[in-house]
Chains A and B, each alone.
Chain A
């Protein structure tokens, strides 16, 4: 009668030891990456940063008296909603302001803030997640900027989303900042 127990116990003990080891390894790995180099591997695949570290420098060659910059800031780790925001914002800008873009009065840029050269944007614009920012530039100097946080609320209504981006951009282009 004791035979089954005798044959099962070593198996169970081995299984528990293996599971303990697995859990330990997982936790150790999770904690170690959590402390330091999370997106390291993903970052390595990203092309070298091209966006200059300063918006004034970035457009130093353009001395337009008044210019509006529309940014979409993202991180290396993408998500469905984030891609949607980028696509809608690009569509709102490119379809709504053809002339302004042609005249370089309006510029749209998508920037990865995980790239070293772009990290300063997090501080500059007080970013707390992927964000759409519009900035007002006068004679090459930035004088105002605005975060458009409603992009998250309007994500499921493309028409309203595009109207929101276009209204805010139009106001900045007209110099009517709120």
Chain B
């Protein structure tokens, strides 16, 4: 029991360590802006953050299961995800950002006066947080690859906890994003109320989120497709 608790503590710490390292900074900024964009509803922000973390957890459980069961070898899956996913991520974020800005009609539910459609859109926004979690978890960088494949997987195998520990690790990677998103949403809400401009702040959240997606997408494209070393 004690070893399991130690394992859980280590897994969550490894997740936090992954999230606060410099390499996933761009994707974390995107996640914070997306999860925290519902300025007017902290409950929705927490829910989106939860789904984002669950998306990450499920991905790590799946990748962990594939390598532990030897379906895929760690070197091949690690290098593939580090290279290819990050190449796809840049253009994809630009595309999503353009969609969020409303510059391009994507095949998604649009904002509508109909309550039913509004509810459906809200649900799809939350589902988007989960999908974003899956996407970002798959986009391994050297730090996350080192900590996940080099520390978490051996720990999960040795503790005979091949589902729980990768899942806890995923929660750990999402935790800083959720905390910052909630703080961001609360801060924006406070500013909005203080200046009696909550509706304006809520309206501004959408283009800001879109701009963050586009800028992060351009940044990742420059690094991973054009091979520019910015460090």
Contacts and interface: CB of A to CB of B under 8 A. Distances in A.
B79 A153 contact: no
Nearest to B73: A126
A149 B151 contact: yes
A152 B15 CA distance: 12
Interface in A101-141: 122-123, 126-131
Contacts of B23: 79-81
B151 A30 contact: no
A87 interface: no
- Chain A interface mostly helix, strand, loop or mixed? helix
Contacts of B103: 15-16, 19
B75 A78 contact: no
Interface in B56-113: 74-75, 78-79, 82-84, 87-88, 90-92, 94-95, 98, 103-105
B150 A23 contact: no
B150 A155 contact: no
Contacts of B228: 42
Interface in B185-208: none
A155 B21 contact: yes
Interface stretch (B126-134, B141-149, B175-183): B141-149
B135 interface: no
A30 B90 contact: yes
B146 A149 contact: yes
Contacts of B221: 26, 30
Contact of B149 (A33, A42, A82, A129): A129
Given A34-B84, A129-B145, A23 B98 contact: yes
Contacts of A69: none
A126 B21 contact: no
Interface string A1-45: 000000000000001100110010011011101100011111000
A72 to B, nearest CB: 12
Given A16-B105, A26-B91, A81 B143 contact: yes
B22 A81 contact: yes
- Chain B interface mostly helix, strand, loop or mixed? helix
A178 interface: no
Given A76-B227, A77-B229, A153 B145 contact: no
Between A26, A31, A42, the greatest number of chain B beta carbons within 10 A of the residue's beta carbon is seen for A26
A58 B90 CA distance: 39
A56 interface: no
A29 B91 contact: yes
A83 to B, nearest CB: 7
A46 B175 CA distance: 39
A62 interface: no
A125 to B, nearest CB: 9
Between A42, A76, A83, A152, the greatest number of chain B beta carbons within 10 A of the residue's beta carbon is seen for A152
Interface string B162-184: 00000000000000000000000
Nearest to B17: A153
Given A79-B23, A129-B146, A155-B21, 20 more contacts: A27-B95, A30-B92, A31-B88, A33-B225, A38-B227, A41-B226, A41-B227, A76-B227, A77-B223, A81-B142, A122-B79, A128-B79, A129-B78, A130-B142, A130-B146, A149-B146, A149-B150, A152-B17, A152-B147, A155-B143
22 contacts: A20-B104, A26-B221, A29-B91, A30-B92, A31-B88, A33-B225, A38-B83, A39-B227, A42-B227, A78-B231, A79-B142, A82-B142, A126-B74, A128-B74, A128-B150, A129-B146, A130-B146, A149-B151, A150-B151, A152-B143, A153-B17, A153-B147
